[in-house]
Amino acid sequence: MDKVELEPPFHHASFDSHSVGIDETNGRFAEVSLETCKQCGRRWLRYFWEHEAFPRSGRWYRGLIADEVVEKVSPATAVTILESLEWRFCGGSYFNSSGHKHSGPLVLD
């Protein structure tokens, strides 16, 4: 990809991804990962959750984080970090969207 991806839709091949773990809060079993843009080196925190028993429940959040925040990321801190950002992106079947800008609390439970 030749462009720096700061607007959805995001393409997974544009990022190096590292799994941080699973957030089991409230039985969510959400996937938490840190991603690095291959073009610009920016760091993203990604949170993906879906309830397999319910169609159209898949949702993801992706927020730019500073390098000093990276070491604080864990499955237990991911939601708090994402909600502390002024804005982030969200998308998935729950939102019927390939991604849009979002602020405020995450829609999870």
Please indicate, yes or no, if residue 5 is contained in any of the structural domains: no
Q: How many CB atoms are located within 10 Å of the residue 62 CB? A: 22
Helix (H) or strand (E) holding 78: helix 78-84
Please indicate, yes or no, if residue 29 is contained in any of the structural domains: yes
Please indicate, yes or no, if residue 109 is contained in any of the structural domains: no
Neighbouring C-alpha atoms within 13 Å toward the C-beta of 49: 20
Please indicate, yes or no, if residue 4 is contained in any of the structural domains: no
Residue range 41-89, pLDDT digits in tens:
999 999 999 877 788 888 999 999 999 999 999 999 999 999 999 999 9
Please report the pLDDT score of residue 8 as a whole number. Answer: 58
Please report the pLDDT score of residue 6 as a whole number. Answer: 64
Of the chain, the percentage scoring pLDDT greater than 70 comes to 90
Confidence band, pLDDT 50/70/90 cuts, at residue 3: very low
The residue-averaged pLDDT of 93-108 equals: 84
The residue-averaged pLDDT of 25-39 equals: 92
Specify the pTM: 0.85
Q: Which domain holds residue 61?
A: 13-102
The structure tokens 């000093």 sit at 68
pLDDT at 28 over 50: yes
Please indicate, yes or no, if residue 47 is contained in any of the structural domains: yes
The residue-averaged pLDDT of 6-12 equals: 64
What is the Cα–Cα distance from 2 to 98, expressed in whole angstroms? 20
- The residue ranges of DSSP E strands in the chain, in sequence order, are 15-23, 30-37, 43-49, 59-65, 88-92, 97-102
Please indicate, yes or no, if residue 2 is contained in any of the structural domains: no
